[in-house]
Chain A
């Protein structure tokens, strides 16, 4: 009894459909965990990078120097990316137009683009996590329902219906639900956690963009005044 009720034995003796469902759920669970680990590392790194960049930015270093520090071809992340996009646009527009408003508009637009790229980068694959979280219980349930259907079909052929004839079938069918929940629960938890973290980071980037914008605005105001005077 013990041997026939062990989980590996139950999985091996399940019907093909239930086995496919189990396989799908296993793959989904593994993939969701890959995403969880990867996203966690990305978030942690982005947070650390943001702190380091803010510290440098507000340390009073010259913005031109800060801009030149990193080679332009290397891709930058987070607030640094926003800063570089804005500052590059500012430097390009400055010789071409005299209108401060036009310069500020251009800077803001390019910063918004950089910000939305950051958003996309941070939220990458989170949708997959949400899909696993919401769909895998249903997939597991499907496997269970299918398995129980099979158990009742076999029951109709048995002369004497005892609990012992039905029990292995139902246990085997319920494994599918268990696996669905096993995949879904971490996915739900980490989806919420990761998306709130990415939302927080994006908010910080936005704040930084506004602050940088105001700095540029202040500079242009000063220049406009000197031009006018």
Chain B
């Protein structure tokens, strides 16, 4: 009996109770921080950058490019029916004159059509120029960063393969034209030479780029002229178009040939590997730019108060001018939504979201790229 009579003390219960609470606290401290916050993907508004290339709308761009190629081909076929070989010597001079004359005339007459076309072309040219610039920048950086990221390279490889396939299809179509093929072969040989010496290639590429741009401008003007003026002009333009097309095709074929040669010979293979690396680096720079775009977009989305009662289908495009420090110099509406209150809210959102301090962390090349860019605003489904 005596053993039952000892009283129950408070020491053990206290210990147990405190231990229990400590356990609860420790569990709450340990488990809660490790829990991942839910991704806040359902953004109320979608403001997308339209001026610069992003990783997400590459597929879209590819489609656009394909559509453009088809259109160009149709144009070319129509022109080819009428086309005869025009004198090549006169061409450059006539183009230069026509370009100046037509630029003034056309701007007044076909304002809408021209604007649309010009914008498209400018966007294209800008994208190409920017890609070129990024590539050059990346090559400089390549010497510092020896290690290329394998993952990104693989992705790049895939993308290129897809591109290659597309190009092959286009090439199949184009191969029917004998003239084009002949020129292609010539160019392919030139390319092979060019790849042998990389330094020369860079310079010539730059020159070619400049020339291509000049030619494209001239060609554009010429085409516009052709619609109004004499048939001879149109013929020349068609011829020009054909030549440009052929050149592009030649380039594609050249690349293809180079790749085939690389498989055959190991020294060319190393050259191609170097090129791939440089493209991978260019892509890295592009991704840094993308992250900045996302930052800007998020900041603006946060600050955007959509005016009550605005229709849901509105869309406005805004051009931003930034200082290298990320401060906003000016914002103006490029294409209005038609609703004044909506446009004002968009400008206010950008002003409220500025300055974009993340600009400072960008590499200088990307900074200059973002000095001026466009933002497109449209409210999402959710209000």
Interfacial residues, chain A to chain B (CB-CB below 8 A): 1-3, 6-8, 26, 29-31, 33-38, 41-42, 45, 48-49, 52-53, 56, 69-70, 74-77, 80, 182
Chain A residue at minimal CB-CB distance from B305: A160
CA distance A35 to B12 in the complex (A): 11
Query: Interface centre among B5, B10, B24, by most A CB within 10 Å?
Result: B5
Q: Tell whether, in the assembled complex, residue A33 and residue B2 are in contact, meaning their CB atoms are under 8 Å apart.
A: no
Residues of B with C-beta under 8 A to A75: 5
CA distance A183 to B14 in the complex (A): 15
CA distance A37 to B20 in the complex (A): 11
Residues of B with C-beta under 8 A to A41: 8, 12-13
| Interface flag for B382 (CB, 8 Å) | no
Q: Tell whether, in the assembled complex, residue A74 and residue B2 are in contact, meaning their CB atoms are under 8 Å apart.
A: yes
Q: Tell whether, in the assembled complex, residue A45 and residue B8 are in contact, meaning their CB atoms are under 8 Å apart.
A: yes
Q: Tell whether, in the assembled complex, residue A38 and residue B13 are in contact, meaning their CB atoms are under 8 Å apart.
A: yes
Residues of B with C-beta under 8 A to A74: 2, 5
Min distance, Cβ A168 to any Cβ of chain B, angstroms: 14
Q: Tell whether, in the assembled complex, residue B1 and residue A80 are in contact, meaning their CB atoms are under 8 Å apart.
A: yes
Residues of A with C-beta under 8 A to B37: 1-2
Q: Tell whether, in the assembled complex, residue B29 and residue A7 are in contact, meaning their CB atoms are under 8 Å apart.
A: yes
CA distance A33 to B21 in the complex (A): 9
Q: Mostly helix, strand, loop or mixed at chain B's interface?
A: helix
Across the interface, B33 reaches (CB within 8 A) one of A2, A35, A70, namely A2
Given A1-B37, A2-B33: A26 and B21 within 8 A (CB)? yes
CA distance A41 to B24 in the complex (A): 22
Q: Tell whether, in the assembled complex, residue A33 and residue B5 are in contact, meaning their CB atoms are under 8 Å apart.
A: no
Chain A residue at minimal CB-CB distance from B35: A2
Q: C-beta contact mask, B1-38 vs A, less than 8 Å → 1, else 0?
A: 11011001010111011101100100011001100010
Given A7-B28, A33-B20: A38 and B8 within 8 A (CB)? yes
Residues of A with C-beta under 8 A to B8: 38, 41-42, 45
Chain A residue at minimal CB-CB distance from B10: A38
Given A7-B29, A30-B18: A37 and B1 within 8 A (CB)? no
Given A7-B32, A41-B8, A45-B8: A70 and B1 within 8 A (CB)? yes
